Amino acid sequence: MKSKTFYAAMLAAGLLSFSACDQSTKQQSTKMTDSTTVGQLPVASGFEKTIDGKATKLYVLKNSKGTQAAITNYGGRLVSMLVPDKKGTLVDVVAGPGSVSDYEDAKGNYYGALIGRYGNRIGKAKFTLEGKEYKLPANDHDNTLHGGKEGFDVKVWDAKQIDDHTLELSYVSADGEQGFPGTLKTTVTYKLTDDNAIEIAYNATTDKATVVNLTNHAYFNLNGCGAGSILKHTLQLDADGFTPVDKTLIPTGKIATVQGTPFDFRKAATIGSRINEGDEQLKSGQGYDHNFVLNKHTLQTPIATVQGDVSGIVMEIFTEEPGIQFYSGNFMKGDFKFKGDKKDDNRTAFALETQHYPDSPNKPEFPSTELKPGQTYKTTTIYKFSAK
Ligand code: GLA
């Protein structure tokens, strides 16, 4: 008979196995098959670091179907999502680095990160709110991109693993941080559901009037991280319009119809089928890097559906946000390390960032991004996976 101590130790080990640093994720490799890149979670120890006096870690979520998601509290980043392909093989569909240091190196690409306080661009790095002008740091031409030089993507969030499928992250952004008014108390909850969806629920309050536009900047390759070009993925977007931009990717303020343009994804088309057409808007973005105006934005029907050509993996996006930035990985240059000894080669991943439209603080005609004391910013986006 084994001792009580042994059973107590076994029980403790069992309980620990679904907490922060899942030991089972430690023997890792990524191998190629003739179809997709087979995924495993990255090594948890690569996420153990101290940044600004705070500990970073890798948190693992699991569901009853064997699907797993890994998230680090460094920038609240979605690191991995292991989902079954059409043959039932688990594939890591999140493209990005495999350690905190590699994420720090690739800072400007925002891999997997929670973006705040204002996702996307604010023109000329300033805006006026209640009669007062606020100046922000410019980090993209003369504009502010993704919250400024030190956005939420490089902050260490406080993490609380609620259970084996839920992680709650919180960050308090001080009044005046990156030029924005008001103390913003932010909570983002990642939940892996049994229908193979990762649900991201955002919540924020302020003590002064401010602007807020939170999003997640996960890059996906539905054939697997590092499995080559995404140009043969098919994309369907429920958007009749998009917001055309100037050369620095600031919206002109107009909403243009997608009809008759390479921006018409109302019927599924491959990402690459029209990307090299001489369209002026595509030249400005060096490919797709545009906000689409969604026809509906509830959690009832998907507004975007993407399918990996090799894996058959389908990703559906549901959101309460009125817009989505479709970015075709145009600025990826192969400079940074990805999981499984891969690199971030050009257009080997895409992002679909749910959001309010870019530069809304300077565009009264766009849906408002203002948040006042007493109000709660609350929005949810779901990425749901299946295969066929
Ligand atoms: C966003 C922007 C892009 C680019 C990427 C990161 O998606 O819209 O222009 O900056 O982030 O490289």
Q: What is the pLDDT of residues 45-94, one digit of tens each?
A: 999 999 999 999 999 999 999 999 999 999 999 999 999 999 999 999 99
Look at residue 92 and give its three-state secondary structure. strand
Q: Which of 104 and 23 is assigned the larger pLDDT?
A: 104
Q: What is the model's pLDDT at position 6?
A: 36
CA distance 207 to 230: 43
Ligand 1 centroid – CA 290 distance (Å): 10
Span 358-376, pLDDT tens digits:
999 999 999 999 999 999 9
Q: Indicate which residues carry an active-site annotation.
A: 217, 353
Which amino acid would we find at residue 138? Answer: A
Strands 184-192 and 197-206: antiparallel
Q: Is the entire prediction scored with pTM above 0.75?
A: yes
Q: Is 325 in the pocket of ligand 1 (CB under 6 A)?
A: yes
Q: Is 110 in the pocket of ligand 1 (CB under 6 A)?
A: yes
Ligand 1 centroid – CA 48 distance (Å): 27
Which residue has the CA at smallest separation from atom 10 of ligand 1?
Answer: 109
Q: What is the model's pLDDT at position 37?
A: 59
Q: CB of 186 within 8 A of CB of 172?
A: yes
Atom index in ligand 1 nearest the CA of residue 327 equals: 7
Q: What is the model's pLDDT at position 39?
A: 78
Q: Is 327 in the pocket of ligand 1 (CB under 6 A)?
A: yes
Ligand 1 centroid – CA 121 distance (Å): 9
Q: What is the model's pLDDT at position 2?
A: 36
Q: What is the model's pLDDT at position 289?
A: 98
Is pLDDT above 70 for 97?
A: yes
Is pLDDT above 90 for 194?
A: yes
- Give bridge partners of residue 171 from the DSSP assignment: 186
CA distance 138 to 118: 13
Mutation probe of ligand 1 site: the residue of 146, 216, 288 with most atoms within 8 A of C-beta: 146
Q: CB of 319 within 8 A of CB of 382?
A: yes
Q: What is the model's pLDDT at position 38?
A: 65
Of the chain, the percentage scoring pLDDT greater than 70 comes to 90
Q: Is 289 in the pocket of ligand 1 (CB under 6 A)?
A: yes
Atom index in ligand 1 nearest the CA of residue 331 equals: 12
Ligand 1 centroid – CA 3 distance (Å): 57
Span 121-171, pLDDT tens digits:
999 999 999 999 999 999 999 999 999 999 999 999 999 999 999 999 999
Is pLDDT above 60 for 175?
A: yes
Span 256-282, pLDDT tens digits:
999 999 999 999 999 999 999 989 999
**pLDDT bracket for residue 111 (50, 70, 90):** very high
Q: What is the model's pLDDT at position 316?
A: 98
Span 195-243, pLDDT tens digits:
999 999 999 999 999 999 999 999 999 999 999 999 999 999 999 999 9
Average pLDDT value for the chain? 92
- Please compute the mean of the pLDDT values over residues 277-291 and round it to a whole number: 95
Is pLDDT above 70 for 22?
A: no
Q: Is 369 in the pocket of ligand 1 (CB under 6 A)?
A: no
Ligand 1 centroid – CA 282 distance (Å): 14
Q: Is 331 in the pocket of ligand 1 (CB under 6 A)?
A: yes
Atom index in ligand 1 nearest the CA of residue 249 equals: 9
- Please compute the mean of the pLDDT values over residues 322-340 and round it to a whole number: 97
Span 25-48, pLDDT tens digits:
333 334 434 345 567 999 999 999
Q: Is 351 in the pocket of ligand 1 (CB under 6 A)?
A: yes
Which amino acid would we find at residue 3? Answer: S
